Structure 1
Amino acid sequence: MARICPLTGKRPRKGSIIWRRGKPKKAGGIGTHVTAVTKRRFFPNLQRVKAVVNGRVRYIRVAASAIKKGLVVKPPKRNWKKPEAATA
């Protein structure tokens, strides 16, 4: 499964880890120096939620920002009761 949000189009982005060595000048040192740069990926914050898609209730993986913006239509709450509880 691809790590892509169907609503916002967010997908993994490229970045790097920067390794530094030394004491910062602000802390009384002679400054930090970069010793290595390694590639990495930043993944979107995908959450699995129940949503109404094309009139049907489905589980979809969407970005947390899409949930906050209100782009996800949540299904209505069930008010189903057990048959013996309804007759009593």
Structure 2
Amino acid sequence: MARHCCILGQRPTRGHAIRRKGKPKKQGGIGTHVTAQTPRTFFPNLRRKRLFVPELGRWVSLRLSARGLKTLSKKGVYATLREAGALD
């Protein structure tokens, strides 16, 4: 199963972790310098949730990000799922 939120569509993104070396000027050094940029992947904060949809009268299993879960509680389960196209 792909690592994406079914509500917001968040997916893993690529970025860099910056490596620094040296002693800071405040501590008596000549300053820190960037020595490398290591590629890395940022993953969305996914949760597997089983929600009851009263309009349909059944349970739905979803893989949501934490932000998507907040969206569900704000807008309502059925309206959000219909808007996202996550209903069968």
Q: Is the shorter-chain TM-score for this pair beyond 0.5, marking a shared fold?
A: yes
* TM superposition score normalised by structure 2: 0.71
Q: Is the 8 A contact 1:12 1:41 kept in 2?
A: yes
Tell me the SS of whatever aligns to 1:49: strand
Q: Distance in 2 between matches of 1:72 and 1:10?
A: 19
* Aligned CA distance change for structure 1 residues 32 and 58 (closer, same or farther; 3 Å): same
Q: Give the percent of matched residue pairs that are identical in Structure 1 and Structure 2.
A: 51
Deviation at 1:10, TM superposition (A): 0.8
How far does residue 52 in structure 1 lie from its aligned partner after superposition?
4.0
The corresponding residue for 1:63 is 65
Using CA pairs below 8 Å that are at least 6 residues apart, which structure has the higher relative contact order? 2
The amino acid across from 2:61 in the alignment is: Y
Structure 2 match to 1:73: 77
For structure 1, the residue ranges without an aligned partner over 5 or more in a row are 75-88
Give unmatched runs, 5+ long, in structure 2: 79-88
The structure with the largest helix share of the pair is 2
CA–CA distance in structure 1, aligned partners of residues 52 and 70 of structure 2: 16
Partner of 2:29: 29
